[in-house]
Amino acid sequence: MDIAKLGEFGLIDRLTKDIEIKNESTKYGVGDDCAVLSYPDKEVLITTDLLMEGVHFDLTYIDLKHLGYKSAMVNISDVFAMNGTPRQLTVSLALSKRFTVEDMEEFYSGLRLACDKWNVDIVGGDTTSSYTGLAISITCIGEARKEDIVYRNGAKDTDLVCVSGDLGAAYMGLQLLEREKSVYYQQVEEARKKNDKRALEELSHFQPDFSGKEYLLQRQLQTEARGDIIEKLREAGIKPTAMMDISDGLSSELLHICKQSGVGCRIFEKNIPIDYQTAVMAEELNMNVTTCALNGGEDYELLFTVPIGDHEKIEQIEGIKLIGHITDAKFGKVLVTRDNQEFELKAQGWNPLS
């Protein structure tokens, strides 16, 4: 259905009509000039993201349901990265003419799945038209007790550096999708040149080959915020000294923590968690897997530091890996390779040959 047929308000009505409010702090959601929130004894956390088609996502790889899910999750992830609890979300969309009402329902179904998973209320938003493509702006609001908030600037000498999950898989998933896309377009191009109608017909049923690499696709397309890790840390009575989520790659995030905390770090290559499929894919593409894990991005795992006294407690939590420790700033930011060479950590493109 053409969106113009419903109009902006009709569309918003259709997308939000059966939303149920789940949080006590949401006093009023969609339906007035503003949403009304109440946080009498808590600090309020706010994070926002703007995602542009062609820059941040490619609709040849990702369907609108997964895109809705991912757009919500990356914002929810930022609230967890402050050791907070996500509560509300607003969503604004700019749409070109090629999107239908059904497309937007798909997007919203993914968005709502992510919000339901973490008990987040959708409390508002806006839709407007765009000349080219889709733009998505999401704001997530969360809460935390003042004493629980974890900033990037609290890491201290001798603290342990930890990451959740594994790294580099989302980036490898993107490489895989790009490879299959270029294989497809190459074949189409060749068939067109030869005017091979049968080949073109066959290509219209093109099935990319992702077998054995499902985890990489899942990591790229189905982003999960690590609220489960936040819960486990709370249960264990651990409060990180510094924390952030890994959206741009481990190296870049580590440098943020070191800079803002005024410290250095020593990270061990052999401790960086990498999934088997990530390693296999890196080898296929002739890439250094550690470089991918350090610089890949979009993993949305948590990077955090804890006092050395929490060593035993941390080691007992499944899904958390100790990758190194914080040092005095004068020792720099160092990566120790498997063969005990030392390199300075760089924000991008760590090059073992330089």
Binding-site entries for substrate: 56, 298, 350
- For residues 225 and 209, is the Cβ–Cβ distance under 8 A? no
Give me the least distance between CB of 161 and Mg ion, in Å please. 17
- 257/335 with CB nearer Mg ion: 257
Give me the least distance between CB of 250 and Mg ion, in Å please. 13
- 176/242 with CB nearer Mg ion: 242
- 68/297 with CB nearer Mg ion: 297
Among residues 229, 312, 303, which one has the least CA distance to residue 271? 303
Q: Give kind and range of the element (H or E) at residue 188.
A: helix 169-193
Q: How far apart are CA 205 and CA 133, in angstroms?
A: 25
- Which residues carry a binding-site annotation for ATP? 108, 125-126, 152, 247
**Helix, strand or coil, per DSSP, at residue 239:** coil
Burial 200-238 (b: 16+ CB within 10 A, else e): eeebeeeeeeeeebebbbbbbbbbbbbbebbebbeeeeb
Residue type, 44: V
- 29/249 with CB nearer Mg ion: 249
Number of H helices, E strands in the chain: 11, 13
For the CA atoms of 18, 22, 24, 28, what is the dihedral angle to 10 degrees? -20
Q: How far apart are CA 304 and CA 302, in angstroms?
A: 6
Rg of the chain's alpha carbons, rounded to an integer? 22
Interface pick for Mg ion out of 78, 121, 275, 299 (rule CB under 5 A): 78
Window of 78-86, 129-137, 156-164, 325-333 that interacts with Mg ion by CB under 5 A: 78-86
| Binding of residue 301 to Mg ion (CB under 5 A) | no
Give me the least distance between CB of 287 and Mg ion, in Å please. 25
Strand partners, 26: 37
Give me the least distance between CB of 79 and Mg ion, in Å please. 9
Between CA 29 and CA 296, with CA 116 as vertex, the angle to 5 degrees is 115
Window of 76-84, 132-140, 177-185, 197-205 that interacts with Mg ion by CB under 5 A: 76-84
- 187/252 with CB nearer Mg ion: 252
For Mg ion, the binding residues in 32-51 under the rule CB under 5 A are none
Q: How far apart are CA 127 and CA 101, in angstroms?
A: 12
DSSP structure class, residue 307: -
Window of 33-41, 52-60, 74-82, 330-338 that interacts with Mg ion by CB under 5 A: 74-82
- 29/297 with CB nearer Mg ion: 297
Give me the least distance between CB of 168 and Mg ion, in Å please. 18
Give me the least distance between CB of 244 and Mg ion, in Å please. 5
Give me the least distance between CB of 247 and Mg ion, in Å please. 5
Among residues 347, 353, 172, which one has the least CA distance to residue 249? 347
For Mg ion, the binding residues in 206-265 under the rule CB under 5 A are 245
- 44/287 with CB nearer Mg ion: 44
For Mg ion, the binding residues in 168-207 under the rule CB under 5 A are none
Q: How far apart are CA 187 and CA 294, in angstroms?
A: 33
- Per CB under 5 A, residues contacting Mg ion are 78, 245
